[in-house]
Structure 1
Amino acid sequence: MRIVAGKNKGNILKSPKDLSVRPTSEKVREALFDILGTSVKETCFLDLFAGTGAAGIEALSRGAKKVIFIEKELKCIKIIKENLEKTGNSQNAVVYKIDFLSGLKLLAKKNYLLDYVFLDPPYNKGLVNISLLEIAKLPILRKNGLVIAQHYKKEKVIENLNN
């Protein structure tokens, strides 16, 4: 698994040897960041359910000012920190070992304002909708902020939270 573009293009990221984590694929990251283009530069980006941190590190590589990683698994936290060190991005990252709901509440308590929230939770557990509803309740997304959720194609997902 490698970084697709930006200052860290081509860097190989570490990932777990077992199948307990499903990192966001290079193809998906490439498509996502091609769509976002240069709008990622100088933004605050949240990698929720961070896993290996690939999406957030891709954002840093493409110019995000700060990336927050939320992940509850210790082995993944270690991998995220190793990948940040390897790519020289530690100074622009905050890594929290915390479950996603507590993590979102913590970000609100710390008055974070996010430009982008990327979530790629385990499939078929209803975590996308739970996350979206929680994000909608909390004052963590900038006015024109964007939430991007990768999910299983048969999972029904809330599409509009404009209330």
Structure 2
Amino acid sequence: MRIITGTARGCRLKTPKGQDTRPTADRVKESLFNILGAMVSGRHVLDIFAGTGNLGLEALSRGAASAVFVDQATSSLIRENAIHTRLLSSAEIYGGDVFARLSQLSAAQRSFDLIFCDPPYHKGLWQRALRVFDTTDLLAHDGILVVEHGADETVLPPLSGLVCVENRRYGHTTQLSFFQWQSYREEDDA
């Protein structure tokens, strides 16, 4: 696994040993960042269930202003990867329970332009995270939430403000769903 482009282009990222992890494949990551394009530059990023920090570090390498990483088990690995890619100065890295950290970030009135949510598949975590984002202001009004989930995980939880604006499948294992605020979409369409 490596950073594809930007200031840290070609840097290889360390991966956890002996853990049941599923890092985002380079081809899926490349497709994701091709979709996002120039929307990454200058943005404030949140990367939850961050694993190696792959997505947030790629965003920083491509010009994102800052990134907050949250993962219960791999915060020290994310720090190593941020140091290796020379992106640590733009990163905040937290361990502990992801949902407790989301509650703290919300209470601190933090808001993010771009959120990556890549939890383990088939545990209901992406649906739970969607409900949190739907009921807080963590996603900026014009922000984009990208959720990576299993190709067979298609049931969305009830949402009152967020809408899925795009969905892409990658083989038989992975899909990316893109969410924005319905109110922003309506303004954009007007």
Matching residue of 1:78? 76
- Residue 78 of structure 1 deviates from its aligned partner by 1.2
TM-score computed with the length of structure 2 as normaliser: 0.81
Matching residue of 1:154? 152
Per-residue CA deviation, residues 17-76 of structure 1 (Å, 9 max, x unaligned), is: 224221111111111111111110111111110001001100000000010101001xx1
1:46 and 1:114 in contact (8 A); partners too: yes
- Residue 162 of structure 1 deviates from its aligned partner by 4.9
Equivalent residues in 2 for 1:60-79, closer than 5 Å: 60-73=60-73, 76-79=74-77
Matching residue of 2:121? 123
Matching residue of 2:88? 90
Q: What SS does the corresponding residue of 2:143 show, helix, strand or coil? A: strand
Q: What SS does the corresponding residue of 1:20 show, helix, strand or coil? A: coil
Equivalent residues in 2 for 1:6-155, closer than 5 Å: 6-73=6-73, 76-155=74-153
TM-score computed with the length of structure 1 as normaliser: 0.94
Instruction: Classify 1:157/1:103 alpha carbon distance in 2 versus 1 (closer, same or farther; 3 Å).
Output: farther
Structure 2: gaps of 5 or more residues: 162-190
Matching residue of 2:2? 2
Instruction: From the CA coordinates, give the structure whose radius of gyration is larger.
Output: 2
Kindly indicate which of the two structures has a greater share of residues assigned to helix.
1
Structure 1: gaps of 5 or more residues: none
Q: CA RMSD in A?
A: 1.4
Paired with 1:79 and 1:86, the residues of 2 have a C-alpha distance of: 10
Q: What SS does the corresponding residue of 2:150 show, helix, strand or coil? A: coil
Question: What is the identity percentage for the equivalent residue pairs of Structure 1 and Structure 2?
Answer: 38
Q: Which has the higher contact order (CA 8 A, sep 6+)?
A: 1
